[in-house]
Amino acid sequence: MKDDGLHGSERVPLVRPRVPASDELTSLLDSIWRSGRLTNDGPMLRRFEAALQKELGWDNVVATANGTMALQLACRALRLDGEVITSAFTFPATIQALRWNGLVPVLADVEPRWLTLDPASVAALITPRTCAIVAVHAFGHPADVTGLQTLASRHGLALVYDAAPAVGVRVDGVPVTAFGDASAVSFHATKVMHTVEGGAVCTPHDDAAEAVRRLRNFGLGEWGGAEEYGTNAKMNELQAAVGLSLLRTLDAEVAGRAQAAAVYRELLSNLPTIRFLWPSDAVSGNYAYAVARLRAGAAPLADKVHAVLGRHGIDSRRYFSHRYRGRGTLCPHPTPVADAAAEDVLCLPLWGDIPRRTLMRVAGLVAEAVS
């Protein structure tokens, strides 16, 4: 955590994206200029995808224009058709990616500790129309990969993970993206590791990876014609250069965020109205978000704290309040845990070199607001 110039009453962003060192990025850009290739599966993209293989846990890694398209293309490549059980507590992109594929999202509840898909809720929703489970690693916290895989295998369902914020997360030392039939990650600038805009699909299935490669390029095959559902979801060479540079600093960014999270824990965890979502002992987290649940008995306090911080020029986010709830979904059973989370979750400012005094300023206002 270093001095970044945020003083007194200056606005505090929710996140300040890490940027590549200028000399390293210039060197990578010079390589692009020399190649004369700016996009269309160029050499820098190939280097970036190769570098991602170790981090994401599969040899098959296909970069895309953004994380939403990664999820769309993963579902299309797996030829999903029918109902898909997914989380009632997620960003709209999860639902939108399914709807774009003509799939019917069926909302299941989440478990209360990390707000990830509850296997028991999923099990109760499986019908002959179910073709897949799309689980969300909420805020980078891993879903129950073992329980969900057991369900998927038992019923012959595809298992896809919306792993948008989960790059760098490991479960018992294994990348969280190395589970299921496919994972879709996001490299948006707000993420722990980014390409400004971008995403990727990683999968153990060679045929699915090849399908994503075709689909991201208008469905064009090397010898055949265009597929009906192809699109333009390519990542360009400049984005790949940013990603290649920042991938090398991922560990440093995560370490800085972990230190900042420890300050929030030190200053706020003794308050009975606040509960933070921190990684379990089996998980090496990436601290993508500082997620607080704010509640005094039955009364949620997230809106109140969000308003107080806003008045003092501090950005926070009410992920995933009811305004994020996707339309065009089925919700056959009540989802009380997800509904409660939508009322009381607030994400506080967090990035790798956020100054300690900024954390103290934020924490002081939060403590005052809930007291």
Assign residue 96 the CATH number of its domain.
3.40.640.10
Domain span at residue 295? 250-370
Residue 320 has pLDDT above 50, yes or no: yes
Is the domain of 232 the same as that of 254?
no
On whether residue 38 sits in a domain, the answer given is yes
3-state secondary structure (DSSP) of residue 107:
strand
Name the residue among 124, 180, 183 with its Cα closest to residue 157. 180
pLDDT on residue 9: 66
- Are 207 and 356 in the same domain? no
What is the predicted pLDDT for the residue at 227? 74
Hey, is 43 helix, strand or coil?
helix
Assess whether 197 and 264 both reside in one domain.
no
In a domain, 11, yes or no: no
pLDDT at 284 over 70: yes
The C-alpha angle with vertex 208 and arms to 202 and 209, in degrees rounded to 5, equals: 50
pTM of the model: 0.95
β-partners of residue 202 are 61, 183
Closest CA to 234 of 55, 62, 21: 62
Between the alpha carbon of residue 367 and those of residues 297, 362, 364, 371, the distances in Å are: 16, 9, 5, 6
Nearest Cα to Cα of residue 164 among 131, 117, 122, 201: 201
Alpha-carbon gap, residue 230 to 222, rounded angstroms: 14
Q: Which of 190, 219, 247 is the last residue of a domain?
A: 247
Check whether residue 236 and residue 257 sit in a common domain: no
The whole-angstrom separation of Cα 299 and Cα 347 is 18
* Domain termination residue (choose one: 247, 266, 281): 247
Q: What does the pLDDT look like over 163-196, one tens digit per residue?
A: 999 999 999 999 999 999 999 999 999 999 999 9
Task: Find the range with the poorest average confidence among 21-35, 102-116, 299-313, 320-334.
Answer: 320-334
Q: State whether 275 and 237 are in the same domain.
A: no
pLDDT band at 5 (very low <50, low <70, confident <90, very high): very low
**Rounded CA gap, 185 and 198, in Å?**
9
C-alpha–C-alpha distance, residues 307 and 268, integer Å: 18
227/337 same-domain check:
no
Last residue of a domain, one of 247, 274, 309: 247
